[in-house]
Amino acid sequence: MLCRRFRVWLWIALALSGGVAPAADDRWSSAPAKPAGDVVLRVVSVEDENPVAAGKAAAEALKRAMGHSPLKAVVVSECFEDQENKELLLKGITSVLPRQIVVGGATYGSFTQAGCTDYDSVCLLGIGGEGLSVSAALETEMGTAKLSFDDHQAEIRRRLHVAGKQLADKLPRTEEDRLVILIADAHSPKNQSLVEGLQQVMGKTFPLTGGCANKNAGQTFVYFDGKARPDSAVALVLAGDFRVALAGRQANENDAVIATAKQGAEEALAKTDGQPFAVLAFNCAGRRSKLKKYEDELAAMQAAIGKEMPLFGCYCAGEMGPVDVAEKGEALSGGAGWHVMYTVLSK
């Protein structure tokens, strides 16, 4: 009897919160994945100087794009200036979508199949479908935002190892786990230590990708529960009946940025098992700055992945994924700069 009442309560709570079961303020899990259910990723992008209008328009567009597939998480990449405007953007998004499932970070802009954006823009990645589940966790007060890498290397390493481990400990694990998406205020080269912390729990070979928040003074926020948080990290675990393939490439000159964008996408596609259905690309804002035309890099990606598959791309202050170095270590992913980190999802 008690069990039945609890289940009824749980389903009411899930319905009110967008299908999320919050375990605590700093973690939640969506409804579990159903075998043979659909897995749907959709991407929308909006530019508008009015952050509330941009957020609302993007959220409505995402809702339409998801169709009947239940939305499990929304990843925000936004480039509005200052906390006040960022909060207005979140207000716009959460006026349409459930606040609890809105996560993400401040970036330097985004790119999708529709083009590249920078200031006053928001890009939303909708993750959903019956065949996928999401668990999310937040780690705050990591204590490294104002520490410079050269003066406090050991302390940064220690604190981010702890933060990464604590973050990973908050995530429930299942056999169906496929990918971790990490969004953090821990820009390159600090991001390597945070990744190492997560890997202490998740293992060195578990697929992990992500990007670091904009590190401009006053902009360094990640988002969890629809709220802006400084000096924090968010991790999502995606689980379900799908597969992922990752690749990373590094460059810092115009021609090399374009060439590596194509090579990395080709490598990730070549590793794909099954039919690819979405691409995530956590890219470096520094790479973008070396481009004569932003669109040249996107065109190179499209030469590899085509122009139809949903593409969620954002320009970050450090990227997580397979680091492009000659001597590969044991770990699949690391944290670095000047990279584009691809993940191709397939079924």
Partner 1 sequence: MAGRLLPLLFALLAACGALPLSAAEPVALRIDSLLVTPSHTPSAVVHVKNLTASVYEGTVRLIVPPGWSLETEEHGVSLAPGETARQSFMIQRGTTVEENSYPLEAVATGEGATVRRQQNIVAAAAPYFKPSIDGNPGDWADAISVSWTAGGRATKVGTYWNRKQFALLIAVDEDRFVPATTPIDNGAFDAVQLAISPQEARTGQSDDDKTSRYEFLLVPTGPASGRCYLLATPGLKCGETQSARPLEPLVYADAEIAVRREKTTTYYECAFPWKLMREDIRAGEGREFCLSLLVHDPDGVGIRDWGEAVGLWPCQRNRLAWSRWPGARWADQPPFDNKTPWGMCSSKY
Closest separation in Å from C-beta 258 to partner 1? 15
Among 208, 258, 317, 320, binds partner 1 (CB under 8 A): 317
Closest separation in Å from C-beta 313 to partner 1? 16
HEC assignment per residue over the chain: CHHHHHHHHHHHHHHHCCCEEEEECCEEEECCCCCCCCCEEEEEEEECCCHHHHHHHHHHHHHHHHCCCCEEEEEEEECCCHHHHHHHHHHHHHCCCCHHHEEEEECCCEEECCEEECCCEEEEEEEECCCEEEEEEEECCCCCCCCCCCCCHHHHHHHHHHHHHHHHHCCCCCCCEEEEEEEECCCCCCHHHHHHHHHHHHCCCCCEEEEECCCCCCCCEEEECCEEEECCEEEEEEEECCEEEEEEEECCCHHHHHHHHHHHHHHHHHHCCCCEEEEEEEEEHHHHHCCCCHHHHHHHHHHHHCCCCCEEEEEECCEEECCCCCCCCCCCCEEECCEEEEEEEEC
Which of the ranges 48-56, 141-149, 225-233, 295-303 carries the binding residues for partner 1, by CB under 8 A? 141-149
Which of the ranges 1-9, 85-93, 266-274, 285-293 carries the binding residues for partner 1, by CB under 8 A? 285-293
Among 93, 285, 311, 345, binds partner 1 (CB under 8 A): 285
Binders of partner 1 in range 189-248 (CB under 8 A): 189, 214-219
* Per-position x/- string for 83-122, each x denoting binding to partner 1 as judged by CB under 8 A, each - no binding: -------------------------x---------xx---
Nearer to partner 1, 150 or 175 (CB): 150
Among 23, 67, 95, 148, binds partner 1 (CB under 8 A): 148
Closest separation in Å from C-beta 246 to partner 1? 21
Among 9, 173, 289, 307, binds partner 1 (CB under 8 A): 289
Give backbone dihedrals phi and psi of 14, rounded to 5 degrees, phi first: -65, -40
Nearer to partner 1, 28 or 338 (CB): 338
Among 147, 162, 299, 331, binds partner 1 (CB under 8 A): 147
Under a CB-based contact definition with an 8 Å cutoff, are residues 129 and 40 in contact?
yes
* Per-position x/- string for 117-136, each x denoting binding to partner 1 as judged by CB under 8 A, each - no binding: -xx-----------------
Q: Is 253 in the site for partner 1 (CB under 8 A)?
A: yes
Closest separation in Å from C-beta 144 to partner 1? 9
Among 17, 22, 53, 81, binds partner 1 (CB under 8 A): 81
d(CA 318, CA 210): 9
Closest separation in Å from C-beta 148 to partner 1? 5
Q: Is 146 in the site for partner 1 (CB under 8 A)?
A: yes
Closest separation in Å from C-beta 45 to partner 1? 18
105 by Cβ neighbours in 10 Å (0-12 / 13-18 / 19+) ranks as: buried
Binding site for partner 1 (CB under 8 A): 81, 108, 118-119, 145-151, 187-189, 214-219, 252-253, 285-286, 288-290, 317, 337-338
